[in-house]
Amino acid sequence: MSEQNGLLRQLGFWDALTIGVGTMIGAGIFLLSGVAVSVTGPAAIFSYLAAGLICVITAASTAELATGMPTSGGDYYFVSRALGPLFGAISGIGIWLSLTFAIAFYLFGLGEYLAQFTPVTPFWGALGGGLLLVALNIIGAKESGRLQVAIVLILLVILGGFSGLATFSVERQNFTPFFPFGTSPLASTTALVFVSFLGFVKIAAVAEEIKDPAKNLPRTLIGSVVLVTLLYVIIVLIIAGLFPQETIGAVRDPLTAAARSLLGPFGAGVIIFAGLLATLSSANASIFAASRINLAMARDRMVPNWLAAIHPQAPDALPRHPGHGGAHAEPSADRKSGDARQNRQRAPTVQLCGPEHRLRVPSGGPASLVPPHVPGARGALPPGVRGGSLPGHRGLLGSVCPGGLGGADPVQPWVVRRLGTQPRRD
C-alpha cells in the first residue's frame, strides 16, 4: 500500500454539484418546510431566502479557500492551516463526529422509508443501506459520483413534477395574511432552517478529487446553495397555498399529504420514494466526505497513519512516484484512460519533502519556487527541482514532511493548475 499517495481527479461538475444538492435536499423539504409555514406562515420563504443568502456568502468564502487549497479535508484543512494543529484537531474530530451522527440519522431515515416499501425492518434496512454505500465508496469515487448524480436527478424530477402539478391546486386565499404572526418569527425560523443548507461544505471536503478545481469548486459550492434555495422557496409556497394556515400545524408530513390529496396513494408513494432517495443521497455524500476528513487528519498524523493508506491499485489512487524524499512533477494520468487529450487536461502534481516550500505567484506572472531560506527554516531545495521559475503553472504549492528533507515519509501533493507547459526538472 501507498502510505500517502494522492487521489485522481475523477469528479466532474455534476458529480460535485450533486454532492452538495443531494445532502441539502432532505429534512429541510420533507419535514421542516411544514414546521416553518406553521410558525411563520407563507412569509417562511423570507427565512429560507435569508438562510440561503448567508450560505451563499459562506460558500463564496469556502470557494476562495478550496480553490487555493484543493485538497482533501475541507473545513478541517482550512482551520488547521490557519489556526494551527490544536484548533485543527478540535475541528477535525468535531466535523468527523458530526458526519458520523448525520450518517446514522440518514441511514435510520432510509430504513424507515424502506420499511414502507419492503418487509424489512428499519434496522436491517439502515444496516443494509449503509453496507451497500460503504462498498460503493470502496469501489471508487467515480462510481459513487455517478450514483449521486442519478439519485439527485431523479429526486429533482419528482419534486419538480410535484411542484408543477400542485401549482394548479394552490388556493390564493391561503396566502392571506402573508405574515399571520408578524415579522418576529422570521429570525427564529431562519435559525431553524439554516441547518438544512450546510451540505455544501461537503464539496470542499472532496476538493482533491474534483476536476479543474479553480473553475468547478466556486461554481458547485455557490450553485448548489442557489439551486436548493430556489427549490425550498417553491416548495414552501406550494405547501402554504395547499393547506389553510389553521390546519398546517397538524400535518406531520405536508408533502406526502399534499401528494395523497392530488394523486391518491400513488402520489403519496412517489413522495415517500423521493424521501428515500433524499436520505440515500445524503448518506452517500456524508460517507464520502467523512472518509476524506479521516484521510486529511491521518496525513497530518492526527489519527493513525493507516487511515491515510491508499491501495496503489485502487481506481482513485494516483500512480505511485518513486523516491519519497525528492520532488516529483508529473501529470496525473488516469490509468484507465488512454485518451491523450484527457491526460493533457489533467493538472500535474508536485510533491515536496523537507521544510515548507511555497510557490510565490507574482501578479500576472509565472509561479516561482521559493526555497526554505526564510528565517527559522532549514534545509536546501529538494533534489530534482530547479530553483526559480516554474513556467506554465500558478497556484499554491507546499507541505511539510515531518521526517525532514529526504525523510521516509511522503508528503501530501498539492495540485497546481496547469496553464500550458510542464515544470522544469533537472
C-alpha cell at 258: 399534499
- Say if residues 241 and 261 touch (Cβ distance below 8 Å): no
Pairwise CA distance, residues 235 & 246, whole Å: 19
Give the DSSP H or E segment for 418: strand 417-418
> How is 324-390 classified by DSSP, letter by letter?
TTS-EEEE---TT---HHHHHHSPEEEE--SS--EEE--TTS-EEEE-S-STT--S-PPTT--SEEE
Short-list 184, 176, 228, CA closest to 26: 228
Q: How confident is the model at residue 316 (pLDDT cuts 50, 70, 90)?
A: low
Q: How confident is the model at residue 25 (pLDDT cuts 50, 70, 90)?
A: confident
Q: Quick one: pLDDT at residue 392?
A: 35
More confident: 21 or 403:
21
**Does the pLDDT of residue 224 top 90, yes or no?**
yes
Indicate the residue type of 419: L
Q: Quick one: pLDDT at residue 313?
A: 57
More confident: 90 or 410:
90
- Return the residue matching grid coordinates 519519497: 324
Q: How confident is the model at residue 5 (pLDDT cuts 50, 70, 90)?
A: low
Mean pLDDT over the full length of the chain: 74
Q: Quick one: pLDDT at residue 61?
A: 92
Crossing angle of helices 85-115 and 75-83, rounded to 10°: 170
More confident: 213 or 379:
213
Q: Quick one: pLDDT at residue 113?
A: 87
Region 394-423: mean pLDDT is: 33
Q: Quick one: pLDDT at residue 3?
A: 38
**234-291: per-residue pLDDT in tens?**
999 999 999 988 888 788 788 888 899 888 999 989 999 998 999 999 999 889 888 8
Q: How confident is the model at residue 43 (pLDDT cuts 50, 70, 90)?
A: very high
Roughly how many angstroms between the first and final C-alpha of the chain, as a whole number? 29
Pairwise CA distance, residues 390 & 394, whole Å: 9
- Say if residues 66 and 217 touch (Cβ distance below 8 Å): yes
Short-list 23, 20, 72, CA closest to 280: 23
Q: Quick one: pLDDT at residue 332?
A: 37
Q: Quick one: pLDDT at residue 187?
A: 92
**292-308: per-residue pLDDT in tens?**
898 888 888 888 887 77
- Say if residues 282 and 106 touch (Cβ distance below 8 Å): yes
Region 344-366: mean pLDDT is: 37
φ and ψ at residue 128, rounded to 5 degrees: -65, -45
Pairwise CA distance, residues 301 & 307, whole Å: 10
Q: Quick one: pLDDT at residue 294?
A: 87
Pairwise CA distance, residues 52 & 240, whole Å: 19
Bridge pairing between strands 358-360 and 348-351: unpaired
Across 126-135, 254-263, 278-287, 395-404, least confident range: 395-404
Q: Quick one: pLDDT at residue 325?
A: 30
Q: Quick one: pLDDT at residue 141?
A: 79
Beta-carbon contacts of 400 under 8 Å, excluding residues fewer than 6 positions away, are 355, 356, 411
User: Distance of CA 343 to CAs 6, 141, 414, Å?
Assistant: 16, 18, 18
SS3 state at 414: strand
Adjacent-strand bridge partners of 417: 394
Q: What's the predicted TM-score (pTM) here?
A: 0.70
Helix, strand, coil percentages (3-state) for the chain, rounded to 5, are 60, 5, 35
Short-list 46, 34, 37, 29, CA closest to 199: 29
Q: Quick one: pLDDT at residue 155?
A: 93
Region 326-355: mean pLDDT is: 36
Pairwise CA distance, residues 72 & 412, whole Å: 10
